[in-house]
Chains A and B, each alone.
Chain A
Amino acid sequence: MGDFTAQELTAIFVMQGFSGLSLFCVFLLMALGLAIIFGQMGVINMAHGEFLTLGAYITYLVSYQAAEWGATALTWYFPVAIVAAFIGTFALGYLVERFMIRYLYNRPLDTLLATWGLGLILQQVFRSIFGPREKTVTMPDWLLGSYRATDMIDIPLNGLFILVITLVLTLALFALLYRSRWGIKVRATTQNRGMANAAGINTDRVDRMTFALGCGIAGVAGAAFTTIASTGPTTGSLYIVDTFLVVVFGGAASLLGTVVSAFGIAQSQSILSFFWSGSMAKVFTLLTVVVILMLRPQGLFASKVRR
């Protein structure tokens, strides 16, 4: 790197840091929903990516409607779209738990197959309704372009936006799980279902809300990702592998583990792809994760749970 001035190197360092941070936010946003479903309920939700896609399509619909209403609506529709995406995916999640998942508890392989099938069905539904081509979500101006801090340093506005959403959502989730009555019920159910039932907690209801909440978070992630990536029937499947990777690596039942694992994977991938080609960075990151999981199968943070 001898050809570059100190100023250039600092600028790249800052931007590279931010790029790693953005990737971390993307990973975390994807993984949060899955982590509470997988971690707290032990359900492997293969259709998680499709809930994300649904969130993205709801955002598209809202933006489409906003475009009809005019420029002011187009400037401020995004927060509305996020709320709508949350409500839509939450509702679908609630129904899926009510009519499918609840019959499959304690049968992990069956849930895996059933949710995978659900994912395929949803993909085809999206394709039938919205067509196989990708949709453009018209972005408001304040989400386009970058903030030019110096001549070299550009901070992407959509990256900042995702950072804020991730921060808010993560804090809200932690508060919900560790500072609310509902959180106590969830944790009690996770730790010992029978005992929680005996103590008067309606664990069926807790499960349903947990699943719906996880799906709702996926919907928010989908809405947020329309700012950085594509909106098509198979968009969700682009993220699903990374999502599982983050959750498993972090230790299934630990929310903190998910955060740390998302950070580790994102930074290593971001830094490696700076010095290497993108494909090699991915290979190396996966290899590292595999090796660490071989040595530590329970993931980074294992919580003590009575199964």
Chain B
Amino acid sequence: MKLHTLSRSWLAGLTAVTLGASVLFGPAHAAAPPTDEVMTTGLAVTDDTVKVGILHSLTGTMAISETGSIQAEKLAIKQINEQGGILGRQIEYTVEDGASDWPTFAEKARKLLQGDKVATVFGCWTSASRKAVLPVFEQNNGLLYYPTFYEGLEQSKNVFYTGQEATQQILAALNWANEELGAKSFYLVGSDYIWPRTSMKIARTHIEKHLGGRVVGEDYYPLGNTQFGSLINKIKLKRPDLVFAAVVGGSNVAWFKQLKAAGMTAERMPMLTISVTEDEVLGIGKQNVEGFYSSMKYFQSLDIPSNKEFVAAFKKEYGQDAVIGDVTESAYLGPWLWKRAVEKAGSFDVDKVVAASDNMEWKEGMPHGYTKVDPNHHLWMRTRIGQWGSDGQAKVVWESDVIEPNPFPEGY
């Protein structure tokens, strides 16, 4: 992702010149192929622009989480535009607010697809919002790039999932805990909704069938629960080798603060979570997460050249204090995945873009490293275990091989 700093007006001039010149110099620098060639399905594409949608919660409970995704998507779009856009067209975006309300998400998706005729949408965060917009995207043959790591068990022609599905995030992490920490007994803790429950179901099966371990307890607390005293006592009594946690939102903050207060430090009770990224650490507080482990595909501290570029660009755009979590990075991937697929297809038409996406591969260039688009619309990538330090950043202690996405795991 080398950034060329072409200004837009300069580019427009270049386009005008090359329109004539391309006849002489061949198609290598032909900036913009004619619109009727690159789009046949009534999308909002003109000779020099293409319209896309960004659909996230700007207000309501989920705004906390979705802010980073919006920032990443805008940054990627800006960078692509600076490089000359897609098929010679500058990307213009419309931001819609799903307001943390699932029917609103569906309504806004319909507006983007039917009203604005956007070529693609980057958006959604919770599974509930994705499930709400899914039929809208399928009926209108729209295209959605969805950033969050999620529970799997879904696959749609119209959606690309740029985060990890549950098996990618969980299985390798549990293997690691088993081999490196010697964990045999596990305590599973989650917020009470579909993602933690599905994840824990997968975790339990893997622990019992493949690791020969034991699950000594499994507990779910309502979203927004702020009292974990009884749970912490139960964990103390059962003395598992490892606590495996997927607590989210405001609850997550309470969970870590109360663990710390109960003297359950990382040395006394190792914990591996699948719901703490750099974003969450901001709210939980560095002092409370120190020493615990997270399983993610991406950490801000990753020592990869393309990540250093990404972090620098992100901080330049949003300030030196900005942090980048796993989902923020996934959101950043969306526009780049779409760009390459459109260019490969030579068209903005959804069917052609989808067909061109299969098996696209990045050996390097993506902030998290190797990436490949599986025909099941999920990504091949590595899983990493990061240990949180006192500076609020994770140190990668272990890295898996590239893992194939398997959204419909058999036997789980």
Contact = CB atoms under 8 A, between A and B. Distances in A.
Interface string A148-183: 100010101111000000000000000000000000
Contact of B67 (A131, A157, A281): A131
A135 B282 CA distance: 7
B226 A278 contact: no
Nearest to A266: B227
A135 B283 contact: yes
Interface in B311-329: none
B263 interface: yes
B344 interface: no
A277 interface: yes
A98 interface: no
Contacts of A156: 258, 261-263
A193 interface: no
Interface residues of A, number: 55
B237 A132 contact: no
A277 B220 contact: yes
Contacts of A238: 224, 226, 250
A111 to B, nearest CB: 24
A134 B253 contact: yes
Nearest to A132: B63
Contacts of B279: 133
A227 interface: yes
B345 interface: no
A158 B252 CA distance: 17
A229 B257 contact: yes
B376 interface: no
Contact of A144 (B219, B224, B260): B260
A227 B254 CA distance: 9
A157 B192 CA distance: 28
A188 to B, nearest CB: 37
Contact of A134 (B220, B229, B261, B283): B283
Contacts of A132: 63-64, 67
A252 interface: no
Interface string A223-237: 001011111111101
A109 to B, nearest CB: 24
Interface string B200-228: 00000000000000000011111011110
A266 to B, nearest CB: 9
Contacts of A269: 227
Given A152-B236, A279-B192, A134 B258 contact: no
B64 A279 contact: no
B283 A133 contact: yes
A187 interface: no
Interface size class of B (residues with CB under 8 A): 35 or more
A274 B220 contact: no
A237 B100 CA distance: 14
Interface in A261-289: 269-271, 273-274, 277-279, 281-282
A279 B250 contact: no
Interface stretch (A16-24, A64-72, A86-94, A296-304): A16-24
A139 B220 contact: no
Contacts of B237: 4, 8, 12
B285 interface: yes
Contact of B221 (A20, A230, A279): A279
A133 to B, nearest CB: 5
Interface in B49-90: 59-61, 63-64, 67
- The winner among B60, B221, B229, B249 for most chain A CB atoms within 10 A is B229
A75 interface: no
A194 interface: no
Given A15-B236, A134-B283, A232 B257 contact: no
Contacts of B29: none
B220 to A, nearest CB: 5
A81 B78 CA distance: 42
Given A158-B257, A159-B261, A234 B283 contact: no
Given A18-B229, A154-B264, A279-B222, 5 more contacts: A19-B233, A133-B279, A139-B287, A146-B262, A157-B261
Interface of B: 59-61, 63-64, 67, 192, 218-222, 224-227, 229-234, 236-237, 249-250, 252-254, 257-258, 260-264, 279, 282-287
16 contacts: A4-B237, A15-B236, A26-B227, A132-B63, A135-B282, A138-B287, A144-B260, A145-B261, A156-B262, A228-B254, A230-B226, A231-B253, A231-B283, A234-B61, A270-B227, A282-B222
| 3 smallest beta-carbon distances between A and B, as pairs | A134-B283, A19-B229, A278-B221
